[in-house]
A and B are shown apart, each in its own frame.
Chain A
Amino acid sequence: MQNIIFGLVTGSILAIATVGFSMIRQTEGFINIAHGQLLTLGAFLGYFFVATVEMNVFLAGLAAMVLVGLIGVLLAIVVFRPVAKSGPLAQLFTSIGLAYLLFGLIRVIFGANVTFFPTGFGSRLDLGPVNVTVGEILIVVVAAVVVGLLALFLTQTRLGTWIRATASNPELARLRGIPVNRVSYAVWFVASALAGLAGVMVGLIGNVHSELGWTQILIILAAAVLGGLGSIYGVLAAGLLLGLAMDLSALIIPTSYRTVVAFGVLILGLLLRPQGLFAAKGRREA
């Protein structure tokens, strides 16, 4: 039972990270491996704001989010825009190159050491057979709130509607006069900000070090594919599902197989539904 709590926390964080990733895939059309490095950047910035600037952890998280969001837009303009016409494979490898580049820069700026957030998790609450700390509840709540806000944004605002239109059919969107550039910037900002937030959460739960990006991107990729690359809600579900699977599996099989379980679920999922669990009718070809 306790493991369900663990799975929820892991899954919530994974969901946040993957939603942003999936948005890029949907609207920009390629897999962005550098997403993992934006997550790492978020973790380091969050740590910096808390430990050095001594901000309150919530403000630090917000600040990290906004900063990473802006950096994401900048990278989109400078690095990705010029390669957009060369096709998804070129963009994929550009993103890999950018991932290496960011990884190197992060190490230069922040160092190669491992640090821990000096933030307590609050008191422990015993709820029947499980226990959970206040901090963990907050993480899940924040994740839920953010997702809720995102849903509202996408459905209730004009910009959000434009984003959804562009995601399902970019050519038609452009023809209908939707300012695709502005949409693109918005998507990059939101996606990168989400990555930054996920990074702060990962750092809080575990630790902060420069290799975070590489380990996280693999699971993010798994969650994104499992969820169906075209659907945001599918991705959320997939993220939660993988998080739960990884932590619940510890009850049955040796825990050194944790990431293997994640991949096993992915393979099984794809065997049953090759287009992903919740595939949307998006026109993007794999």
Chain B
Amino acid sequence: MKLGMRKLIILAVVALVIAACGDTGGGADTTAAGDTTTSAGGDATTTAGGGATTTAGGGEEGPIKFGMLIGVTGDYAPYYDVSKAGADVAIAEINDAGGVLGRQVELVVVDNKSTVEGAVQGFSQVVDVEGVHALGGPESDGAIANLQAIKDLQLPTICPACGTSELDEAGGDYIWRITGSDSDGGLIAAQFARDAGYTQVAMLVQNTEGASAPADVFKQVFTEIIGGEVVADVRFDPGQSSYQAQVDQAFADEPEVVYVGSGFEAGGVILTEWQRRGYGGGFLFSPDMVVPEIAALTEQGVEIGDGVARAAIAAYDTESPAYESYAPRYEEIIGEQPTPGLYDANQYDQYIILALAITAAGTTDGPAVAAVITELLNAPGTAVYSYADGVAALEAGEDIDYHGASSSLDVNEFGNLASPNFGEQNIVDGQWTQVATVELDPSLRP
């Protein structure tokens, strides 16, 4: 089989050449001003000497690398542009203020193809090949798949939009998530139902983790704690071209409101079919539905505006100086205001946090950086609202308490937001708009 072996060798060599070219600059997206030499960061994925664990993080020269492991392609692709914009605003802010520890910051974006397998391979690429010092951007399933590796490698990681309940108690040492848990999302939806006086709801839920987890919490809270009735619990697979039977089933008993926990592809189909059949009634949406594509449906005649559809989503604190400084810069890139449903401000905050943490720790060493993150997000400390302010305070020897553009970012011992802000959103004039803030009622926690 010499012919086969020869072809194999040729192909392997070609692949290695392509990959090598990808390594030195072609593959990494850079926002730093400087050149993109890969520093000693490439070698330092294993510590010298016999430690039982190996730490991530690069050497002490050259740019500091922040990884962004995110769905550039695949199901999460629609979120990529806005996420990248949020991150870019942060990186620019950091570098304009002089970088971190005098070094420029470089953003290394790696595509996880929106799959678990892609997240595992992408993680290896971002850690092994690129040698990042810290990581941001992952989605729920990728974060969970790489959770053990993150702990093994002691890589400070911030998850901007991971809602998964699996992280309710798994973080705090090396991983933080700066958005509300799906458990809370489901709880708030139940709270809406209770406050509006609904006693009978139906549910239309997509069979994926991000949708079914909060839906299950909603159901549990609504039936067991509030004492309401779920007249229909309809589950469906994403990716189908028609959901008429499911929609019909959900509306069959004329519930007062229907909870829709779904991604927007299926959600859009469901809503157009609902309109077509003229079922009427109201909706409670899960956070994944709070995206422009759904709001745009009102312009196609789907009448879900002005309170017919209500959603609860982690709200941005629009009064905060951090937000007020961030919003115009983001708008300049994307041309729209920041949107909680797209988590762009979270993407911004994660990198400010990491930059401040490295500054506070005085080193890029993983464990040292990780050790200060919770501290610098919580009181006590001087409240700071930007990277530059934070650095100034740290240099003055003060403890800081960073309040971000997405929220005040106070975290608990598990790396979760201690008391996330939620806001109610309705579609007004074809856009998702916050109409009220919501305080989570702790008596509803199961």
Contact = CB atoms under 8 A, between A and B. Distances in A.
Interface of A: 2-3, 6, 9-10, 112-114, 116, 118, 120-121, 124, 131, 133, 135, 202, 205-207, 209, 211-212, 215-216, 246-247, 250-251, 254-256, 258-259
A207 B265 contact: yes
Interface string B292-305: 01000100110000
Nearest to B299: A118
A205 B293 contact: no
B242 A116 contact: no
Interface string B304-343: 0000000000000000000000000000000000000000
A206 B242 contact: yes
Most buried by A among B77, B242, B249: B242
B75 to A, nearest CB: 9
B245 A116 contact: no
B300 A124 contact: no
B77 A250 contact: no
A124 B249 contact: no
Contacts of A209: 265
A215 B234 contact: no
A245 B234 CA distance: 18
B265 A114 contact: yes
Interface in B276-299: 276-278, 293, 297
B245 A206 contact: no
B165 interface: no
B277 A131 contact: yes
Given A3-B248, A114-B264, A256-B207, A207 B241 contact: yes
Given A3-B248, A120-B301, A250-B249, A255 B242 contact: no
Contact of B241 (A118, A135, A215, A256): A215
Contacts of A207: 241, 265, 268-269
Given A2-B248, A10-B242, A131-B277, A116 B73 contact: no
B276 A124 contact: yes
A124 B246 contact: no
Contacts of B268: 114, 116, 207
B245 A6 contact: yes
A113 B245 contact: no
A256 B301 CA distance: 28
15 contacts: A2-B248, A6-B244, A112-B74, A114-B293, A120-B301, A124-B278, A135-B276, A215-B240, A216-B241, A247-B245, A255-B235, A255-B245, A255-B246, A258-B237, A258-B245
Sorted nearest first, the 5 A-B pairs with minimum C-beta distance are A206-B241, A250-B245, A256-B235, A6-B244, A247-B245
B276 A255 contact: no
Contacts of B276: 121, 124, 133, 135
Nearest to B212: A256
A274 B77 CA distance: 43
A104 to B, nearest CB: 11
A205 B241 contact: yes
A262 to B, nearest CB: 11
A247 B244 contact: yes
B446 interface: no
Nearest to A216: B241
A250 B246 contact: yes
